[in-house]
Structure 1
Amino acid sequence: MDALLIVAGICCCIGCATSAMCQSGELEFFSYPESPFPQQRTIKFKRPFNDRPVVMYCMRMIDSHYNLNTRANIRLLWVRPERFSLRITAAHDSQLYGLGVSWMACP
């Protein structure tokens, strides 16, 4: 069974979708010394859903400059039965070099 853990505003998906009805995955973005953000990514499901699924996502890893604020924004832009889109940005003076996102979609 999957569990979603939220600690101090950061959530982590523990496990992965094991139900035949749910799908899950991970995204990773890395670049050094330049930040790869903003990023927009469209994720295609292995099997399309019959209707628009519910998509849960969370930050699972972050790599940032040690001497600056660490702020990231992950936004779900849209969801369709066959795919969804995420946008990831760094705020103001934050310098992000990497970010990992876990996601799970269920009908």
Structure 2
Amino acid sequence: MQARKFFIRKLFVIGTKLKMSPFSVDIRIAALLMVICYIGSATSTLCQAGEVNFMSYPKSPFPQEKRIKFEQPFIERPVVMYAIKMIDAQYNTNTRIKVNLQWVRPERFSIFMTSAYDSKLFGLGVSWMACP
């Protein structure tokens, strides 16, 4: 709140030094307030992130589907990005992994993880980030 008052005072002083009409100063103050309000509220509603980890030995826990609920629902369906963070696989076989998003909704999404073909997978970690 103090920062907003400071910016309003600064903007008014600049407007009077440039001999602007009070109307144009009011427009600039309104525009600045809109920007400040947007920046202040944007940080809490932009992106959300997290991790999903599955591990088990000696029996493979895959395939696995995990439904993840967002801490705060989005207004519209977000874009979800994901990356493999950790792999624990049998050393003497090829490592083949499938990670897919099943569906995405404004309040949650589903991620599906499995090994492919003859791969023996004991653990898999996935990091994700969802943005509007």
TM-score higher than 0.5:
yes
- Corresponding residue of 1:72: 97
Q: Secondary structure at the match of 2:62?
A: coil
What SS does the aligned partner of 1:97 have?
strand
How far does residue 69 in structure 1 lie from its aligned partner after superposition? Answer: 0.7
When normalised by structure 2's length, the TM-score is: 0.66
1:92 positional shift: 1.0
Larger Rg: 2
Q: Count how many residue pairs are aligned between Structure 1 and Structure 2.
A: 89
Q: Runs of 4 or more off by more than 6 Å in structure 1? A: none
Amino acid of the residue matched to residue 28 of structure 1? N
Q: Which residue, 50, 55, 66 being the options, matches 1:25?
A: 50
SS at match of 1:105: strand
> Higher helix proportion, which one?
2
Counterpart among 54, 59, 81 of residue 84 in structure 2: 59
* Rounded Cα–Cα distance in structure 2 between residues aligned with 1:31 and 1:92: 19
Residue 112 (structure 2) pairs with residue 83 (structure 1): no
Asked if 1:44 corresponds to 2:61, the answer is no
Question: For each residue in 1:18-74, what CA deviation from the matched residue of structure 2 results, as whole angstroms up to 9, or x when unmatched?
Answer: x43110000100000000000000000000000000000010110000001100000
Q: CA RMSD in A?
A: 0.7
For residues 76 and 35 of structure 1, what CA distance do their matches in structure 2 show? 21
Partners of 1:53 and 1:72 in 2: CA distance: 25
- 1:101 — aligned with what? 126
Q: What's the CA shift for 1:77?
A: 0.6
The one-letter amino acid of 1:92's match is: Y
Work out the CA distance in 1 between the residues paired with 2:88 and 2:71: 29
TM-score, with structure 1 as normaliser: 0.81
Unaligned 5+ residue runs, structure 2? Answer: 1-42
Percent identity for Structure 1 against Structure 2: 63
2:118, 2:103 → 1: CA distance?
A: 27
Amino acid aligned to 2:110: S
